[in-house]
Chains A and B, each alone.
Chain A
Amino acid sequence: MLNFFLSRLLTFIPTFIGVTLIAFSFIRVLPGDPIIVMAGERGMSEERYAELQTQFGFDQPIFIQYWDYMTGVLQGDLGQSFVTKKPVFDEFFALFPATLELSICAITLAILLGIPAGVIAAINRGKFFDRALMSSALVGYSMPIFWWALLMIIVFSGILGWTPVSGRISLMYFFDDVTGFMLIDSLLSGQKGAFASAVSHLILPTIVLATIPLAVIARQTRSAMLEVLSEDYIRTARAKGLPPARITYVHALRNALIPVITVIGLLVGTLLAGAILTETIFSWPGIGKWMVDSIYRRDYPVVQGGLILIAVMVMVVNLTVDVLYGLINPKIRKA
């Protein structure tokens, strides 16, 4: 198992170099000069432009810029945002816990509802529940998130008044960030009602963000289960007279989970990369909106640093998924 883990870890190095190259060139390939965007309608003189080019290092050949940047990255320095003038590293980790907290809640909800729904649909293939569930999954998958989020806000916050409109916690609570995770920090603060407020603020964004993963997981589980349920060893298990629940949940589900875990791994990566629309609508201070704003402003250090950090996170998630494969199916470990 250790060898398997190390071999997967080694693939990190070329991937990381590739990611830095892509991150560095991606933003530069886009048309638009960050200095001109910064000056806006007011513009600036040619002398001033040249001065700023030197200040930002843009007057250097591109490979020297890359070399300087990589030297910094390997020392843990991802540069400073052109816009806020703050270190990219600090900005990322100030915002990332919010994205991570929301993503974990959303993926947990999606798994907890999606896998049982897919299993039930599979064992009731062709029946009403299966059709209703798969139709709902299709609707969930195709729903525009922007519209769905606003609809939820208008109904549950505006009309019914059950949930807050946006934000992470009520403005009446005010405490230090310890972990950056509002659920934990609100508990640690000891302020009465803070945890309940944090939970109530998580409900709508979690539901909205979980909608697509839930649909994908349910459909994937259903199709994987259908495939496994038609295998010979399941028929053998039935012939041996094993209880149906044991056949479904122990023999079939364990094998059906392998493709489902792959999908979950990919979904977690997508969620971490920033649930941009959900974060924007619910004023959720995460990395999705931060990255998009930075692309518009041509804030090179933020786009580069953000992409690299997100890519590293996704690589870690993929590694975890690989290790989970190994745990579920020992054959993969030896492959």
Chain B
Amino acid sequence: MRFSRTLTAALMCSGILAGAASAQTLVYCSEGSPEGFDPALFTSGTTFDASEHPIYDKLVLFETGTTNVIPGLAETWEVSEDGLEYTFHLRQGVKFHSNDQFTPTRDFNADDVIFSFERQWKDDNPYKTVSGGTWEYFEGMSMPDLLNEIVKVDDYTVKFVLNRPEAPMIANLAMGLASIVSKEYADAMLEAGTPEMLNQAPIGTGAFKFVDYQKDAVIRYVRNDEYWREPAAIENLVFAITPDASVRYQKLKAGECHVMPYPNPADIQAMRDDPDVNLLEQEGLNVGYLAYNTQMAPFDNPKVRKALNMAIDKQAIIDVVFQGSGVIAKNPIPPTIWSYNDAVVDDPYDPEAAKAMLAEEGITDLSMKVWAMPVQRPYNPNARRMAELIQEDFAQVGVDVEVVSYEWGEYLSRSKELDRDGAVLLGWTGDNGDPDNFLAVLLGCDSVGDANRAQWCYEPFDDLIQKAKVLSDQGERAKLYEEAQVVFKEQAPWATIAHSTVFMPVRPEVEGYKVHPFGGHIFYGVSLAE
């Protein structure tokens, strides 16, 4: 995995010998080790940070810091009237990286696009099972059901033919699973009998070239001077893997790194007051919720659900569980997503009214379970504590709560059961910035018994999101989603709890860093002040 070591060592040292804080070298104290360097093989954000963002490009890209889709390796595209054909016109003159084992003989073209998808999709593709490929994201986004064929029209034109109209298709193609890999490199590695090198020694077209990975310690990249956009301002990018958040903060203060992710909520105030730290923040693209089982009495009654929602003191949850690093959620989608309906009024916190509403529905001695996740997530940093707060809130309105938890795998599978006993704390982080990725996946009728933990299938709501899914006009889609959020609020299948705030502490000399709503950490466009 070490390429052009002497040359690269010289390059790296030329930048770093002036000290880790050199203007040419940016050190990012990452929170963990990547699983590999082929973003299509994995699903974790840590892996995307180390692979998708620095090394690869997609046909279309998310504009850094927003959920807007902009041209990437495709300069333009058209969608057919029936929404079934997407034709992409590819950028010419785009160079792939090279390493010790491979030097490209041609520029990026349609063959690379087709290979990048078919390796995840077609059973007869030799790369389908390489590196134990399970292609979780490609499968999870239902791409095998969606894609009919991918056609090479000419070297610089590719047509995706779908089985059904799917408005979020373009946004799907900006995700990590759609990273474009070099077919020529893949063929060369297959011939050499080392196809797993595609994952271990990645070759992309991105702003940074992979140099070296020392497991659990450090990843090094060097600027791609032949990048099709303006080359990055920083010459060397180094990921110093630092799993402990307190230690990351110490390293940031000591100038041993320039950017750190995931600070401890308890350190946020100290960071605000620290002259060595510039604390950036943005609302995360996620939602944490409590899903009732709407197929089990008395939670099949929207008024009961509504009353319980009114008994939850969400502000206390934000203060105690999120320690201020979150905002109250009123809709099932975060405010950073287009079509967010700000006109929706949240259920007020009113235990007295909640108690009266429950009494009206004949609920006097309700006992229920609240499930607390055993893991930490940005949308729920401490589910046990959150469940205990809800337990106290529900006790105020005469509802007795037992908090239960299971091992994470068990939790995920048992919570899907239609006859599940109790309300489940869970959440979701968006994949592609499209409202469909929240509303259809988490609340659609097709997802009952699966990701729809409320087991909620409500026709008026489902009609709206199904209609929106096949329209190509974003304005029309937004209207339907706004309406769907109103229906959601009336029916209350969930208590929407919170959207986390993403904090990014950076050194004051870091310029141009934007907090990405998807949670990724992107260093193209970042520079260091002298």
Contact = CB atoms under 8 A, between A and B. Distances in A.
A164 B216 contact: no
Interface string B135-150: 0100110000000000
A256 B186 CA distance: 63
Interface residues of A, number: 56
Interface string A64-101: 00000000000000001011111000010011001000
A83 B247 contact: no
A30 B140 contact: no
Nearest to A161: B254
B313 interface: no
A120 interface: no
B254 A176 contact: no
Given A174-B12, A283-B241, A157 B409 contact: no
Contact of B5 (A38, A176, A282): A176
Contact of B220 (A40, A41, A174, A285): A174
Interface string B1-38: 01001001100110011011000010100000001100
A37 interface: yes
Given A177-B214, A285-B215, A285-B217, A36 B413 contact: yes
B510 interface: no
B242 A172 contact: no
Given A52-B134, A84-B35, A280 B243 contact: yes
A200 B498 CA distance: 44
A283 B256 CA distance: 13
Contact of A32 (B27, B131, B408): B408
A166 B412 contact: no
Contacts of A30: 407
A298 B140 contact: no
Contacts of B12: 174
B147 to A, nearest CB: 16
Interface stretch (A42-50, A135-143, A210-218, A309-317): A42-50
Contacts, number: 149
Nearest to A286: B216
B152 interface: no
Interface residues of B, number: 60
Contacts of A166: 242, 244, 247, 250-251
B219 to A, nearest CB: 11
Among A34, A36, A55, chain B packs the most CB atoms within 10 A around the CB of A36
B407 A165 contact: no
A42 B142 CA distance: 11
Contacts of A161: 254
A175 B416 CA distance: 50
A161 B354 CA distance: 57
A222 interface: no
Given A40-B412, A172-B17, A176-B5, A283 B215 contact: no
Contacts of B9: 174-175
Contact of A43 (B238, B243, B247, B450): B450
Interface string B417-451: 00000000011100000000000000000000011
Contacts of B412: 36-37, 39-41, 43
Contacts of B131: 85
B216 A44 contact: no
Contact of A165 (B13, B19, B256): B256
Contacts of A280: 243-244
A174 B219 CA distance: 11
Contact of B407 (A31, A91, A158, A176): A31
A282 B251 CA distance: 11
A164 B133 CA distance: 39
Interface string A274-290: 00000011110110011
B407 A95 contact: no
A135 B214 CA distance: 41
Contacts of B41: 85
A39 B140 CA distance: 8
B199 interface: yes
A33 interface: yes
Contact of A171 (B36, B238, B407, B409): B238
A167 B217 contact: yes
Contacts of B134: 38, 52, 55
A33 B244 contact: no
A43 B451 contact: yes
Contacts of A168: 217
A154 interface: yes
A281 B247 contact: yes
A39 to B, nearest CB: 6
B406 interface: yes
B410 interface: yes
9 contacts: A45-B139, A82-B132, A84-B35, A158-B253, A164-B256, A171-B240, A280-B244, A283-B244, A285-B214
9 closest A-B pairs (Cβ-Cβ)?
A285-B216, A32-B409, A85-B131, A285-B217, A42-B140, A31-B407, A36-B409, A172-B16, A37-B409
